[in-house]
Amino acid sequence: MAEIIQRDGTWIFDGDTLRLTPGRDKNVSLLRRTLGELTVPLGALAGVSLEQGKKSGRLRLRLRDGADPLLQATGGKLTEPNDPYQLTVEADRLGVAEYLVDEVRGALLLDQVPAGPVDGYLVPGPAVPLSASAGDGTASFDGERVRLEWNWKTEEAKSAAGARTLALVDITAVEWRPAAGLENGCLRFTVRGADTKAPPKYDPNSVELWGFKRDPLMALVAAAVQARLPHPAAAVEDRPAEEPDGAPALGPGPEADHDALLRRLRELGELHKEGVLTDEEFALAKQAVLKRL
């Protein structure tokens, strides 16, 4: 086993799995703290590296293409502070970091893990239900439906019709894009039969993002939805067949795990206590969890 504990977080490798836990330091990003612990199987890894600087180093995981719905939904646009697959290493722990790198690389060689793309997600998406508020709206996802609610900053042309509810079966794609320079970002859902050419400012299936602190939380909503859509690399014949009326055939969903929902309630309580979630976001997320108990 290899383990490294830093203010930025803790990485533990047991030979088969890497557990990545974000630290509680004030410099740890809101996205990483909200996402929480990630469990990454060895088969999802394409490589690992340690970049050494004068005062510190950085551990960096490289995942196989298509292994993680968060990376898929964000298209490589997450900034370094928001990347859950990086860890800042203090100078006096570089030796420990090198040992972890050697252990992971040795396991990859021993198991002959290919570095190429995969045709199914190997890392789970963020836990649901979840909700995020940023830009001109709030996006919530309970595993089956996305709800978009608008605020006073929303363009009237978009908010006039009221809140939007999008069924997962009607969503064909999701994209998160950060604000860059003079161009605003967005969380955009592509919905079957809906025109998506309008800018996010006017698109009723998009939340426009303006480059503020909470924008990255919308990436978690995107990842949770992405994890439940057909994998982009999946063969056409492996995708759900459509009924004659055009609606995808759905099998019965798994029953909600009672213990997992209780853990989610505790996590939400901690995030609310730490100020990560506002009162409104906490109440909305808590209500969604309680409905599934």
CATH code, domain with 59:
2.30.29.30
pLDDT at 113 over 90: yes
Kindly state whether residues 8 and 103 are assigned to the same domain. Answer: yes
The answer to whether residues 69 and 136 belong to one domain is no
Domain assignment present for residue 80? The answer is yes
pTM: 0.79
Q: Is the pLDDT of residue 148 over 50?
A: yes
**45 plus 140 within the same structural domain:** no
| Within-domain flag for 262 | no
In a domain, 116, yes or no: no
Angle at 235 between CA 232 and CA 241, to 5 degrees: 95
Predicted local confidence at residue 236, as pLDDT = 45
Same-domain pairing of 69 and 140: no
Q: What is the CATH number of the domain that holds 163?
A: 2.30.29
- Residue 104, token pair as written in the block: 């992971």
Q: What is the mean pLDDT of residues 52-69?
A: 94
Number of domains the chain contains: 2
Stretch 204-233: mean pLDDT, rounded? 95
Determine the pLDDT at residue 22. 96
Domain assignment of residue 30, yes or no:
yes
Q: Which domain holds residue 13?
A: 2-110
Cα separation, 242 vs 157, in Å, equals: 34
Classify residue 39: in a domain, yes or no: yes
pLDDT, average across residues 166-178: 96
**Among candidates 95, 110, 154, 143, which has minimal Cα distance to 291?**
143
List the beta bridge partners of residue 63. 45
- d(CA 36, CA 12) in angstroms, rounded, equals 14
Same domain, 103 and 7: yes
Residues 166 and 217 in one domain: yes
Q: Is 94 a member of any domain?
A: yes
